Structure 1
């Protein structure tokens, strides 16, 4: 059971390092041993361990400095210290700053293993009969940054705090949100995903909060709404940065009062939900420019997890490509089982502006067009070129809006009232659109 638990040992005493490695490997752990703090940081960047055990006093980067560096880059990675009696005060101080624990030399191996087990269990980083891995079954990775993010996700899943997932479009934010839900005490209840950017502004309120019969034209029956559908479970608000300001205050009220009032109703209904939100926008910039409420931001952004782009985790590309290949080939019932070496090289070197979602699309197109068991580089190159000519939906919408508004202002000579009337939008909303695209009406007069 311990074989999947990789420990990183750090000590400048090579004899002690060798002895400790032998004893821990005999206990069933996988051990990586290094002799300096600098080397330890480099190894963590290559392959993330489940636990770091370091000596306190070392030349160059000592144990305390190593711990500080790990806390910055890998905050969920537990660290234990081995220390001589003379450095106990330093070890105690490190414990107060968040180190898992320390043992004094000479140490008892049985006590050390007990401490290791406690650290692994409390950090939720060990594989235990498949239970820990089940929550992240949809996530394919061997990347150290992703592994660290998932370790943090596992920790926050146990608590009911709101989580903000940041990352580029297509980087896998919804998959991580679903993983957090599965790892949480709410895993037996509903996971409801809402794309705030895909639902028209005038429909989003009724979709979220529900409505009663007769509330508006077409409301022929009562509708609970997605917030109440998520009661007891998790509500995932994707692209929260696209939510209109008028609705942000209503969402904040629901989160603060834990009750929702359907459109057209005088009654309220209690709701118990955990909120995970996601955005590819810079919400700090959106707040500064008045497009996102700071009180809602701080309510949603209790814990922030930033997903790396696919270009930042290129070591995952072969793993993901082969995973998608197997899945797509099975779905299409095609005998396609591998990429040619030069085809895989193209995948690894591509820029991937659409991230993991784009990689899946490339694999899907290549499998669909393949006439042989091995996918050649020509099919991969064709799929990448065609898909990179297609911009993401948000970018396409931004370009359309900018061109549309520019055309209206040209037609009306910069007359905002007339342009807003043609667009069938009120002047306030129209001005907001102009501000979003940095269009000055006076330049068209």
Structure 2
């Protein structure tokens, strides 16, 4: 296989000097890029109208439309397409003006071949590219909300599309903020159920006493406040897909009722004496380790195997960093729809900062950082300083209530075990909890009482 066959990045070079145009084209072709040449801006616009390219390299001083005017035309129709400007008349004010307007980089002629290639490589790596589409499918309408070009996501989406053709239950395992609901909806849209409802519920957000009514419905007068019949999500999703997010937080008492509904393919509304048949495909998701939850008697093993016919693992953002430029520009465009002062893009340094950040909050955190940066930006481009400050503010903000409670529980339990030298019975009495419940708390926080006994003996 030749270098040209393996390298699919297309570059458009624009220069009214034929010899320099030919020289740059030879250099880029030798490096494995597919090069398109234009001797003036109008010819370049004609090529862009019929050909998809990943980068434009243009001379600044050209007869007729100059390089900056060409850049403005490109930005109006393809705002995410990076442009490198070359000039033999380079000055610091020219460079500052060009980069502030959104030009990716500014090269002063004559430049070294390696300098050109390094700049080209940075431009292509740091800028978003359109994800590949399945040619047999034409348009990927089923996955259009999932923005990605990474190999790991391509593999996952291929699995998702294959799974969608069956009616098996699917369990999506991933960290919070990775887009579990988007993947579930993509599976629904790729299935034969796509013309029927897709309904989502977060099991952790519904109080236990309301969960049965929310999923199965209730009859008028079934309980205080039930003033009319209520159709549950199972019945409302009939023929379609029901997405149960954070299934690991579902109360144990309700898990047996859900299992019965899945096995019998029918539900009984609260207060009703008869069952209703339902035809629903279940997709569940969790960020928890359900195998550990089963071992700790916090999740039913039979329900786990009923839900986990096929398991899909959605990778964290840190494992798909090549998607960050795509996602960042997508969120930037969404922000621009709600602001009177649109932002053109990111500086090279800002994008590098985004790509290298740890992202413990995954895509949800990335969106937060982009929105924060747009809100405080006073320039046409988001700077590295804005991104760094947004990342710092995001990590130093007050913890959520759940995070604060978990931290308190861990510290409290550790202190009890230290005081009692690992005596669980004594610690449970002090905490006014029974031993079974106390052991569950220790398992939840990965605390081993025997370690505290060893410390005391030492």
TM-score, normalised relative to structure 2: 0.63
Cα distance in 1 for residues equivalent to 2:217 and 2:411? 34
Match of 1:187 among 163, 185, 194: 194
Report Cα offsets for 1:372-394 as digits up to 9, x if no partner.
21111111111111112345675
Cα distance in 2 for residues equivalent to 1:197 and 1:406? 26
Task: Provide closer, same or farther for how the CA distance between residues 191 and 404 of structure 1 changes in structure 2, counting only shifts above 3 A.
Answer: farther
Task: Provide closer, same or farther for how the CA distance between residues 433 and 227 of structure 1 changes in structure 2, counting only shifts above 3 A.
Answer: farther
Q: Is the 8 A contact 2:296 2:443 kept in 1?
A: no
Q: Which residue of 2 aligns with 1:350?
A: 357
Aligned counterparts, 1:239-258, within 5 A: 239-258=246-265
Aligned counterparts, 1:20-419, within 5 A: 125-130=134-139, 133-390=140-397, 391=399, 395-402=403-410, 414=427, 419=432
Cα distance in 1 for residues equivalent to 2:206 and 2:449? 28
Per-residue deviation at 1:170? 0.7
Task: Provide closer, same or farther for how the CA distance between residues 277 and 394 of structure 1 changes in structure 2, counting only shifts above 3 A.
Answer: farther
Report Cα offsets for 1:425-445 as digits up to 9, x if no partner.
x997677456534679999xx
What is the RMSD of the two structures over their aligned residues, measured on CA atoms?
3.2
Cα distance in 1 for residues equivalent to 2:320 and 2:176? 15
Task: Provide closer, same or farther for how the CA distance between residues 134 and 415 of structure 1 changes in structure 2, counting only shifts above 3 A.
Answer: closer
Task: Provide closer, same or farther for how the CA distance between residues 404 and 216 of structure 1 changes in structure 2, counting only shifts above 3 A.
Answer: farther
Task: Provide closer, same or farther for how the CA distance between residues 417 and 226 of structure 1 changes in structure 2, counting only shifts above 3 A.
Answer: farther
Q: Is the 8 A contact 1:416 1:441 kept in 2?
A: no
Task: Provide closer, same or farther for how the CA distance between residues 214 and 435 of structure 1 changes in structure 2, counting only shifts above 3 A.
Answer: farther
Q: Is the 8 A contact 1:214 1:221 kept in 2?
A: yes
Per-residue deviation at 1:416? 5.1
Per-residue deviation at 1:344? 0.8
Cα distance in 1 for residues equivalent to 2:369 and 2:161? 31
Q: Which residue of 2 aligns with 1:436?
A: 444
Report Cα offsets for 1:84-109 as digits up to 9, x if no partner.
xxxxxxxxxxxxxxxxxxxxxxxxxx
Q: Is the 8 A contact 2:188 2:241 kept in 1?
A: yes
Q: Is the 8 A contact 2:156 2:312 kept in 1?
A: yes
Cα distance in 1 for residues equivalent to 2:410 and 2:232? 33
Q: Is the 8 A contact 1:125 1:151 kept in 2?
A: no
Per-residue deviation at 1:281? 0.8
Cα distance in 2 for residues equivalent to 1:308 and 1:148? 11
Cα distance in 2 for residues equivalent to 1:229 and 1:182? 17
Cα distance in 1 for residues equivalent to 2:201 and 2:270? 18
Q: Which residue of 2 aligns with 1:49?
A: none
Q: Is the 8 A contact 2:428 2:435 kept in 1?
A: no
Task: Provide closer, same or farther for how the CA distance between residues 231 and 350 of structure 1 changes in structure 2, counting only shifts above 3 A.
Answer: same
TM-score, normalised relative to structure 1: 0.64
Cα distance in 2 for residues equivalent to 1:205 and 1:439? 33
Task: Provide closer, same or farther for how the CA distance between residues 7 and 237 of structure 1 changes in structure 2, counting only shifts above 3 A.
Answer: farther
Report Cα offsets for 1:307-339 as digits up to 9, x if no partner.
111101111111111111111111234311201
Task: Provide closer, same or farther for how the CA distance between residues 283 and 252 of structure 1 changes in structure 2, counting only shifts above 3 A.
Answer: same
Quick check: which has more Rg, 1 or 2? 2
Per-residue deviation at 1:214? 2.5
- Other structure's SS at 1:170 match: coil
Q: Is the 8 A contact 1:164 1:277 kept in 2?
A: yes
Q: Point out where structure 2 has 5 or more consecutive residues left out of the alignment.
A: 8-31, 33-132, 420-425, 453-458
Cα distance in 1 for residues equivalent to 2:232 and 2:285? 20
Q: Is the 8 A contact 1:235 1:275 kept in 2?
A: yes
Report Cα offsets for 1:340-397 as digits up to 9, x if no partner.
1111111011000000111011001111111221111111111111112345675445
Cα distance in 1 for residues equivalent to 2:212 and 2:160? 29
- Other structure's SS at 2:320 match: helix
Tell me how many residue pairs correspond in the alignment.
317
Cα distance in 1 for residues equivalent to 2:346 and 2:357? 15
Q: Point out where structure 1 has 5 or more consecutive residues left out of the alignment.
A: 1-5, 9-31, 33-123, 421-425
